[in-house]
Structure 1
Amino acid sequence: MYQRVTIGEGEHFREQDVSNLGTFPQVGDEMLTEDWLGTARYRGFATVKDGQNAAVVSTGAAYVNFRQYALEAAVTISLVAEKPLIAGQKRVVILAAQGVDDRPAPATSRDKTVEVPDGAGGTTTQDIVVTTSPYVRNVVEVAKLASGLSTQELDPVVPANVVPFCRIVLDVNGIVGDPEMLDDHRIKSVNDLDAIISQQGAVLDVVRGEVQALRNDLVGISGFLKSTVSYATLDQIIYDVATLKDVNDIGDTGAPYALDRLANDSEVNTAHPDFKGRVDEGLQAPYAAEDRVPLSLFNANDIRLMHQDKGVLFPAYDPEIGHIVHSTGQTAPLGGTVTQTMQLVRMHMTRVRIRYGGYYHYMNPLLWHPLRYQTDIVYRVWAQQAEAFAYPYGYYINRYPYWNRYWRYGVIVDRYVYSYDVWRKTNLTIQGVIKGQTWLQSQERYIPAIRLGLINWENGAEITVALCKLRADGSPDPEKVLQTVTLTSSSFVRYVRGKDATMTRFAFPVPAHVGREGVGYLTSVTGNVTVAMATGDQFLGGNYFESTDGNFFVGSITQDMAHAVEYCKFRATTLDVRLNNLSLSGGVQNVDINCPAIVPDNTGVAWQANSGGAWKTMANLPADETAPDPDPTEVFGVGTTATYDFRAFLTGNEWVMPVLELSGSERTAFRSDDDVHYISIPRSVPSGTTWAKVVVTATIPKYDAVRHTLSAKIHHGTALTTVVNPDGAPVIKPVPENNAVEVTWEFTVDPANDVYETHVLAATNNIAFPIAVSKVFSKVIE
């Protein structure tokens, strides 16, 4: 060790010297442990079952903060208290070694010299026998770290100052299977490490052999390609490589080719004064005229609707109690003086988007999205005009799997499968005594109110109820709140056991939709309030929770709040709701509706306009995948009628109906322009390339040779001011992609310039046959 005690002849030991005899080796050993083992490591502790309710842990050692702790005798760990009581529930228990410093060894006798009076006013020494501990030990105590109850196997949180060594799963019968030793923290011996290194060396030898074989194969392939591949094949390979690069958002700088599939405007020079178009799943003609407003009711006082003042289209209903839990005579404090603060995140309705008209004649997600799991579909599809969501771009990438699209010629229906999400994040803070109640919801319903059985309260008390979804462990999730409401003591009603009407009703501003899932509510109380309680066997469908610190919950399966959950029972199962008219000076040709909505299973919304004296459906939600392709001119004809009556036709059943949030919607009636002008960002020619030609290929969907005109040009030179026109007429080739064509132009350019800019111009002589560009490819030829 790097320190040792020294003493010369005749020198006396001090107490500090004696202490250093023990501490110097200990410090040196800890430094050696830090260098070789680190912390949170263990050896031994082999664990086996002792029946179904206990486990035996053998001897071993743990290293915590580089200090060694020992378990010198096997111990039996009882798991009776951690066993679940309800079938189907599980709990995970982690056994961990916890170090205890300086535990005294068993006492023994020692002689000790002490001073005693000599009877003559002085002192003398005398040897006596004392009982003392001759040394101390660093020992291991086995700690049980238990998770909450859940139908899933959820591991508990492991503190930083213990060493986990065994994982045990419990159900109502006791230990499931055998205890699982946790090898991540086990100390590996030199022999173990030698075996691992030998295995890795063998793998590397195999890899070296495979690499050499691949090199040999590449030599053969290279020779084969040089003798067999045609220029046409190489051109196709170049196009495929350009496609793969664009799909994966890899830039084209320095490459002799470039492809823009117009998934976004990153490769479009939208700032150029000659640019004209809308980049929206391709380059489309801009709007020549538009009317963009929120959806609104034609009759705001329609008695068939409720909650119009909250900006929603909500069919009228009567509240009915869905389930109720009455007290069994017990009570519990719902409020008190020890308060916590909890942050809530309010969820909002997700959106549907309906697009109808000849303008939408080719858009298809397969033509434009990058790798499916990387598409931020919330921004791409559901963002409204100039809208910025609460989270930065990219947060919603994992929402892509929940997007459904129905696409037909002239109709696009986009829908999100969940009713609520946090696209617009609203933070709420509640402060008080925080408790909760959960239950399993077996059917889709709307919940207009929660009722609580309040026994007594002090004046000025206040209760906030927040309806929410549940975490994976079954506890209320404050980051997924659906609705909140707050009442003061003046609105409380004293509960009488067994009487529904005496429960205090907490009515939400707008009923919240819940699916077939776990649901719960949080209560935050200021002031002293007492709530009636029921024993656990009174209500087996949920659990009662108390918050310990405003973040975590402790659940109970033996008691529940006295409460009731109301459901909406709708008065009508079909409802035609007039909305304000679709209007546009000069005529409506197309419509785009972007609306927060809830459309439960077995319900539907038909968006209809009155055309030719009859209500005609533009789109159904959910869409019928088996329906024939619609005629996008059936409703709006050639786009010359300025006003149409407009409605939403709702269908459902007595328990679920569609709901629309009009205040957060956007309805655009528009007529398209008749031309587009695509301009690429400047493209750089690879260094050292002597280029003489540029080839440009544009894909034009639904091409009509009679009505559509196409042209292209290249800008290059200093400041891209030199204009080059094509060498001749373009080559037009049909492709099997929505009746599209590929139009190819060839240009002769000045090799002295090394940057070029692609321009593609397209126009239609009849907006009933709209023009668009779905992608543009260019390459330079030496």
Structure 2
Amino acid sequence: MESTVIYRDRQELQSADLNSAQEFTRAALDHIVKDAIEAGKAYCGFSASKTAATEVTLSSGRLYAGGAVYARNEDIVVDLFNVLPLVTRKRVAIVTFGQEVETDIQPRDFLIDAQTGTTEPQSVAMEHLRRAEVSTVAGTEGPDPSYPPTDANVTVIAYVLLDTTGIVSIEQWQPTQLPNLRNLAGRTTALEQWRGQISGQVDTLRTDLSALADRLAGYATKAEIVALTEQLDELRDEVYAPGAYIYYGTHHFLTAEGSNTAHPEFDAVVEEGIRFPSAGAQTSALALLNPNNVYIRAETGFVLPSYAHALRLDLTGYASETRMAQYTFETTELRQLTRARTRLRYGESQQVCTNSRWWRQGTYDQAENVFRIDGETWEVTNGVPDRMPNGARVPNGNVHWIRVRRFWIDTYEEPYWDRVTTTATLNGQQVAQTFLNSQDGWLSQVGLYFSRKAGTGDVTVLVTETAFGMPDLTRVLSRTSLPVEDIQVGALSTEAGLPSLVETRLPITPTFLTAGRRYALVLITTGDHYVAMSNTDNGVVQGTFFVSTDGAFFAGNLVDDLKMRLYFAKFERPRLSVELTALQLAGGILDIDVLHPGVTPPACRLDVEVQVNGAWVALDGEANGPDLSGLPAILPVRMTLTGTTDLMPGFGLTGSQSVVSRPKTAFTWVSEARSLGSPSTSVKIVTDLQHFDETNHDCTVTLLTGEALEGSEAADVVEDVILADGTTRRTSIFNVPSVSDYAVKIVGSTVSAALPFLVGELIEYAQS
């Protein structure tokens, strides 16, 4: 105690001395509580339970308010009958506040005459009590009622949800509950154990990152590889070009460019080589075999394993409020990106062609030719195939592919792209908060704090990428509407933490955010709403609060940040198989081609599996892949997702396409017509035949001549050379009468559709 009362022998004892002894003790305890336990308001005890249809019973408890402790030592029954809703539902807050009362009235004798000893009885209060009073605050009735606003002088104990018949549920309010030291000790012990588990990995991160930076210095960049490929192509042209020629050209057959697909004899597939056409095919979209699968979430046609919302970023504290209506009312054009796609192809027709390396040349747009669905409109800005986030041009720089026998996979490494977009126009005032995302993850829920709200005006919540540190409304990743009736509003308060402020939780379509990038949360509304601001956690958010002034430029606030919470998906299990509707093709399936929107984060896998002879086998490049030589007419199929409880892959059903087919045993390819500047008498055609076997295969090159290409010339000389990689380089020489117009025709055949070959490259030149 800071002060004590001094008592002496034979000294008069007055009532004030005894009262002071108590007051000094109480003041000292108040100081300890305020300085070391709780300086604001919090409660302990007061456990709420339903004891009747409309009655809530609170156990004994204490209220801590500015150092003072107010107690209630008996159970309290709260009857909510008089606040029941008439039609729908209502939320009621049970609150407590402190009050000092004098109680315990007893008769006591008071001395009225000291000489005669005469006394007089009086009934007086013998106890000065700090009592915790309990009351209720009713909210507004509605189908999904909001939390009622409460005054800063009261402390919320619980919220009770009522319907017309009585109590539906009771929510004990945690934010204002006084933490227990034993519980804190347990949480501290758990944190120490967790640190012990990960310290070996985290403590060495600085060294690991330094070593990684040193290794990266010796690697070639994508831009350097592109430049090298372009130079190699120019060098090849010089090497193979004859000394004198009328026409010279090379063809890599990455796309149908240079092919006369309208020719009546044309019957081939040009895709990383000339290949055998389809003898039968069936196209369908991916679909869930069991749409009611409880182990997944399929929102807006995108499938993820079942998850809960885990808090990852929390801006605590409270500094002020910002009125959104004070800013400019604007009409804003939004451009929303879509998830990029992955394409997986499996089958005997997927023979590897060495010309796939020419995708890096930049002449072709691999994304457009590989990931496009027939009949779809794509957007290519300024004709540039791909740009890095910093704007640097890297042709096809975001595409990763693997080519092994029977297995091809193409992945667009950016999770969202601008090839297929949607646009929208929104009206209202805008505010935004940027933040740095430190870990890969699926943003699944946003927590917002409104200090006041208007009667009308929904809020549109956007998740966008940023440009130059500011929100970029041309690269919107997610758009969600928050109805005005769902906005939760708390009481205004100047106390730290604003304990009465209620969080509005808005689930959004899971949006993948890449580690190390800066994103923005944008709010657009026509309503006169106020958002809560914080200035205590900028080191956590590493971002800036912006307001839109003219629809294009955002004015930044370097002091305050939007008070918010970001929740990321926390998955229930690290591996899950999702069965889809079976693939079917009358006559049998030999090749599978699956194209779907999807995101496969680092350290995760997404495998397509089919069931052959009762066993599930993954489509991959391993030798133990499924054997489709039996031409099954029906193939059960499933997606197997592997990752961690923090990060899992996902795939899309909307915008997906699966094609099952089997090839023919012959193909015919015809080139576009060549119109020479002067007549030629010698034409040489060099073709690279890959996976070619004379025993099983045949390939013939002829020339179609004449202005209408009605003539046909067979090769006078055919020479084969076997290259180091096993490719057959066939040179066909045509000594022809003087021709000014010709086209190349290549006819191939195989003894079995399961034994294909392909034409990987063509070099031709005509001489006089």
Shorter-chain TM-score bucket reads 0.5 to 0.7
Give SS of 1:750's match: strand
1:483-507 alpha-carbon deviations (Å, 9 max, x no partner): 1112232111113555598211222
Q: Structure 2: give runs of 5+ residues left out of the alignment.
A: 1-231, 387-393, 492-496
- What does residue 762 of structure 1 align with? 748
Q: CA deviation at 1:545?
A: 1.1
Write the mapping of 1:95-494 to structure 2, written as runs, cut at 5 A.
Answer: 243-244=236-237, 255-308=246-299, 310-336=300-326, 338-369=328-359, 372-391=361-380, 394-397=383-386, 398=394, 400-472=396-468, 474-494=469-489
Spell out the pairing of 1:30-69 with structure 2 (5 A cutoff).
Answer: none
Deviation for aligned residue 1:305: 0.8
* Structure 2: distance between partners of 1:245 and 1:431: 59
Give 1:777's aligned residue: 763
Change (3 A) 1:527 1:348: same
Partner of 1:745: 732
- 1:732 alignment counterpart: 720
Q: After TM superposition, list the pairs within 5 Å mapping 1:514-529 onto structure 2.
A: 514-529=514-529
Instruction: Mark the CA change 1:500 to 1:590 in structure 2 (over 3 Å): closer, same or farther.
Output: farther
CA distance in 2, matches of 1:275, 1:582: 29
> Aligned letter for 2:646?
W
SS of the aligned residue for 1:754 comes to strand
Change over 3 Å in CA distance of 1:455–1:758 after alignment to 2 = same
Kept in 2: contact 1:351–1:596 (CA 8 A): yes
The alpha-carbon deviation at position 240 of structure 1 amounts to 8.3
- Deviation for aligned residue 1:391: 3.0
Residues in 1 aligned to 2:446 and 2:319: alpha-carbon distance in whole angstroms: 21
Change (3 A) 1:580 1:713: same
Q: Secondary structure at the match of 1:582?
A: strand
Root mean square deviation of aligned Cα: 2.7
* Paired residues of 1:574 and 1:649 also in contact (CA < 8 A): yes
Shift of 1:435: 0.7
Aligned match for 1:682, one of 673, 677, 685: 673
* Matched position secondary structure for 2:312: strand
Q: 1:540 to 1:571 in 2, by over 3 A?
A: closer
CA distance in 2, matches of 1:344, 1:775: 44
568-577 vs 515-524, which moves further = 515-524
Deviations 1:570-618 (A, max 9, x none): 1111101111112211111111111110111211112111123221111
Shift of 1:781: 4.2
Q: Distance in 1 between matches of 2:595 and 2:313?
A: 36
Rate the CA distance shift 1:439–1:685 in 2: closer, same or farther, 3 A. Answer: closer
| Structure 1 residues 304-353: Cα deviation after superposition (integer angstroms, max 9, x where no partner) | 01135x11111111112222223424111123473122222211111111
C-alpha distance in structure 2 between counterparts of 1:442 and 1:402, whole Å: 21
Contact between 1:543 and 1:556, CA under 8 Å: does it hold in 2? Answer: yes
Distance in 1 separating the partners of 2:763 and 2:561: 66
Contact map agreement 1:697 1:742 (CA 8 A) in 2: yes
- Corresponding residue for residue 589 of structure 2: 588
Question: Residue 663 of structure 1 aligns with which residue?
Answer: 654
The alpha carbon displacement at 1:743 in A equals: 1.9
Between the aligned partners of 2:462 and 2:617, the Cα distance in structure 1 is 42
TM, length-normalised to structure 2: 0.64
| Residue equivalent to 2:619 | 618
Distance 2:452 2:270 in 1: 62
CA distance in 1, matches of 2:330, 2:676: 64
The question of whether the paired residues in 1 share the 8 Å contact of 2:342 and 2:597 is answered with yes
Distance 1:643 1:525, change over 3 A: same
How far apart, in 2, do the equivalents of 1:540 and 1:470 lie?
18
1:515 is displaced (CA, Å) by 3.1
Cα deviation per residue 1:222-263 (whole Å; 9 max; x = unaligned)?
xxxxxxxxxxxxxxxxx987953899xx9xx98333332223
Count, aligned residues: 523
Compute the displacement of 1:399 (Å).
5.2
CA contact 1:465–1:523 (8 Å) conserved in 2? yes
Paired amino acid for 1:352: T
| Alignment correspondent of 1:136 | none
Matched, 1:717 2:718: no
Structure 1 residue 565, shift from structure 2 partner: 0.9
Query: If the length of structure 1 is used for normalisation, what is the TM-score?
Result: 0.63
For residues 359-383 of structure 1, give each alpha carbon's deviation from its aligned partner in whole angstroms, at most 9, with x where no partner exists.
Answer: 11123454543x6344422112211
CA contact under 8 A between 1:246 and 1:259: conserved in structure 2? no
Does the CA-based 8 Å contact 1:346-1:481 persist in structure 2? yes
SS of match in other structure, 1:596: strand
Alpha-carbon separation, structure 1, partners of 2:285 and 2:317:
47
Aligned residue for 1:335, secondary structure, equals helix
The 8 Å contact of residues 597 and 655 in structure 2, kept in 1 or not, is answered as yes
Whether the 8 Å contact between 2:487 and 2:504 is mirrored in structure 1 is yes
Query: Would the aligned equivalents of 1:285 and 1:676 in 2 still touch at CA under 8 Å?
Result: yes
Q: Which residue of 1 aligns with 2:554?
A: 553
Task: Indicate if the aligned counterparts of 1:402 and 1:417 stay in contact, CA closer than 8 A.
Answer: yes
Q: 2-side partners of 1:604 and 1:561: how far apart?
A: 36
Residues 338 and 241 of structure 1, relative CA distance in 2, 3 Å threshold: closer
SS at match of 2:550: coil
